[in-house]
Chains A and B, each alone.
Chain A
Amino acid sequence: MTATIATEAKRAPGPRAGRRGPGLHPWVRFGLRRLGGLLLSFAVLTIVTFLIVPLIPGDPAAVAAGDGASAAQIDRMRQELGLEQPLLIQFVDYFRGIITLDLGTSFISGEEVSHVIFSRFPFTAQIALLAIVLVLVIAVPAGMGVAILTRGGRLPWLDHGFNVVTGFIYAVPQYVMGTLLVVVFAVTLGWFPAAGAATLDSLVLPTAGLMFGPACVIARVVRRETAVVLDKDYVRTARGWRLGAARTHLRYVLPNLITTTLTLSGLILAAQLGGAVVIETVFAWPGLGQGIVNAILQRDYPVIRGIILVLGLLATLIIILVDVVLAVLDPRNLGGGSHDA
């Protein structure tokens, strides 16, 4: 056998602590990556919303003009939608409109689309934000608490009860929940208004309808994650140091939950935008959700495009926000973030 002995143990340059790749500061790389994601998202949304009209089977102008439109009306519609132009020109016009915040005017009401969006947005934001905050404040401690109390098979009744209750509530879709809330609390008991956004207490039922389902999902997720962390060796080390329940759970369990919990919660919260669409229908809440449904039913294409674009951007922004929070809490998350689930 032959082998060459190296006489100087060549010292390879060790990995520079915390740095990967040439030059850039981790926060800069993080920012650039997220910005790239936002731009990509924006590009995709622009293209997709643009394509809504040209992709309509048959004659888009006829569909847009509605049943029973005269030939003249159809032609006028074609002009308005710019459909004679080559596809690329249409897209450039559309894109230019978006950049200059001129999203066109509604076919139905003649209102400017940007105005429609700006006037409806606050309503959606109210119930969505309120629901998100309530969900986190309730679900995270609940999930953690149940996991800690039921660890190792303790309190089996709590374990089963939690599973059954959260599972049951989760099985009720949001629009059913909303409808039932209306039936019970508005129609039968008369405690809250059944529709509209007239008074302050009209906020209660829509927010409740939005939050029950996600609260249960997130509570279950947190419970499962907590159980996983409780099984880890380092929690056993803390128990070996006899630190007591409070200190062990706060310092050794909670910090290791946050990443997974926030990641999954972020996705669920972004899905709330879809929930808002449905809830607004139940409660006739004048937000973006009601706006988009009406627009689709009335084939109000400028409004359709505008609202879908905004909803998509909002979803992306929520995810980016979650990534930022994760990175602030623990700089080790700067590399991956909520996308690397």
Chain B
Amino acid sequence: MNITTATGHAPAARGAARPPAASVKGLTVTFGHTEVLHGVDLEIPDGRVVGLVGESGSGKSTLGKTLVGINKPSGGTVRIGTRDLSTVQGAERTAMRREVQYVPQDPYASLSPRRTIGQTLAEALDPHRADPRRHRERIAAALDQVRLEPKSMDKYPHQFSGGQRQRVAIARALILDPKLVIADEITSALDVSVQAEIIRLLQSVRGETDSAMLFISHNLAVVQQVCDDVVVMYRGSIVEAGPVERVYPNPQHGYTRKLLASVPGSPGFSLD
């Protein structure tokens, strides 16, 4: 029996009556002969930060990549806003795709080594000409939003640390004011102190942008710091979902409980 939960309490004023940023229904993804996602239903409300947690094989990364367009669904529908992606073609489809932006895990591979930061950001704004000189103000604003100096736009990626590069990647995602940003394990490759910086950045940027975010992570503690809602996946299906304030203290599903109990330092954790 499949049951749909709803965020019970009245959500914040923002996102109340607006259509969801994105949603999937009955989404199935198959690689070769293996089904990786089994008919998943999920709605990401406008402007909310939703955490997607799970271990390897859970399908969380696949779900994120399908929303972005890297993977193709083998069944079910993907909607951006209210529009069904499969019913839209050509230029309109490209425009819809730009409403969902992606920040990958590895900060050392996500920026083209031979293009300046400015060129990389300009490419997001204008894929054809990608000339930073035409968009200096917007680029400077985007860099400022992630707490980087405007003069960074003339520098190359190798002149920046991993944490700084990740900020650039986030700036690139936000510069288009998309409906949804998919953050795919963006803190997993970073040292703990750098991770903390990014968490603080995300928390402060929240108030400055309307974009929703799907924050994919295996780290439950980080998700709690960053997200409003959390969705738990196991072996290609969603096993629990709800607001962070409800799920963490009161996990309902056995797997969620097991996950929480596995975090060293949590009350359920025991080595004996």
- Residues on A lying within 8 angstroms of B by beta carbon are 1-7, 9-15, 20-21
Task: Please tell me the number of chain B residues within 8 Å of chain A, measured between CB atoms.
Answer: 35
Assuming A9-B234, A10-B237, is B42 touching A3 (CB within 8 A)?
yes
Contact of A7 among B1, B32, B35, B44 (CB under 8 A): B1
In Å, the complex CA distance between A15 and B31 comes to 10
Smallest CB separation, A149 vs chain B (Å): 35
Please classify the interface of chain A as helix (H, G, I), strand (E, B), loop, or mixed, using the class held by over half of its residues: loop
In Å, the complex CA distance between A217 and B151 comes to 50
Inter-chain contacts of B94 with A (CB < 8 A): none
Contact of A5 among B2, B35, B36, B243 (CB under 8 A): B2
- Interface membership of B45, Cβ < 8 A: yes
Closest 9 A/B residue pairs (Cβ)? A4-B41, A3-B241, A6-B237, A2-B43, A12-B35, A10-B38, A1-B229, A3-B42, A3-B238
Assuming A10-B38, A15-B33, A15-B34, is B235 touching A4 (CB within 8 A)?
no
Inter-chain contacts of B5 with A (CB < 8 A): 2-3, 5
When C-beta atoms are compared, the residue in chain B nearest to A11 turns out to be B235
- Residues on B lying within 8 angstroms of A by beta carbon are 1-7, 32-36, 38-45, 48, 50, 229, 231, 234-243, 253
Inter-chain contacts of A20 with B (CB < 8 A): 32
Assuming A1-B48, A2-B6, A3-B231, is B36 touching A12 (CB within 8 A)?
yes
In Å, the complex CA distance between A7 and B32 comes to 25
When C-beta atoms are compared, the residue in chain B nearest to A21 turns out to be B33
Contact of A12 among B3, B43, B231, B235 (CB under 8 A): B235
- A5:B45 contact, CB within 8 angstroms: no
A-B contact pairs, 22 of them (CB 8 A): A1-B7, A1-B43, A1-B231, A2-B4, A2-B41, A2-B42, A2-B43, A3-B42, A3-B43, A3-B241, A4-B3, A5-B3, A5-B5, A5-B237, A5-B240, A6-B238, A7-B1, A10-B38, A13-B33, A13-B35, A15-B32, A15-B34
Known contacts A2-B41, A5-B240; 15 additional CB pairs below 8 A are A1-B42, A2-B241, A3-B5, A3-B241, A4-B4, A4-B40, A4-B41, A4-B42, A5-B3, A5-B238, A5-B241, A9-B234, A12-B35, A12-B36, A15-B34
Smallest CB separation, A5 vs chain B (Å): 6
In Å, the complex CA distance between A9 and B35 comes to 13
Assuming A3-B241, A4-B3, is B50 touching A14 (CB within 8 A)?
no
In Å, the complex CA distance between A21 and B7 comes to 43
- A1:B40 contact, CB within 8 angstroms: no
Inter-chain contacts of B238 with A (CB < 8 A): 3-6
Smallest CB separation, B151 vs chain A (Å): 40
- A3:B33 contact, CB within 8 angstroms: no
In Å, the complex CA distance between A7 and B5 comes to 13
In Å, the complex CA distance between A86 and B32 comes to 48
Inter-chain contacts of A7 with B (CB < 8 A): 1-3
- B235:A5 contact, CB within 8 angstroms: no
When C-beta atoms are compared, the residue in chain A nearest to B229 turns out to be A1
In Å, the complex CA distance between A21 and B235 comes to 22
- B2:A6 contact, CB within 8 angstroms: yes
In Å, the complex CA distance between A11 and B34 comes to 11
Assuming A1-B45, A1-B48, A3-B42, is B34 touching A9 (CB within 8 A)?
no
Assuming A2-B43, A3-B41, A4-B41, is B236 touching A10 (CB within 8 A)?
yes
- B43:A6 contact, CB within 8 angstroms: no
Most-contacted residue by chain B among A4, A7, A12 (CB, 10 A)? A4
Inter-chain contacts of B34 with A (CB < 8 A): 12-15
In Å, the complex CA distance between A12 and B238 comes to 14
Smallest CB separation, A2 vs chain B (Å): 4
Smallest CB separation, B253 vs chain A (Å): 8
In Å, the complex CA distance between A9 and B234 comes to 7
Inter-chain contacts of B236 with A (CB < 8 A): 10, 12
- A6:B42 contact, CB within 8 angstroms: no
Inter-chain contacts of B40 with A (CB < 8 A): 4
Most-contacted residue by chain A among B1, B231, B237 (CB, 10 A)? B237
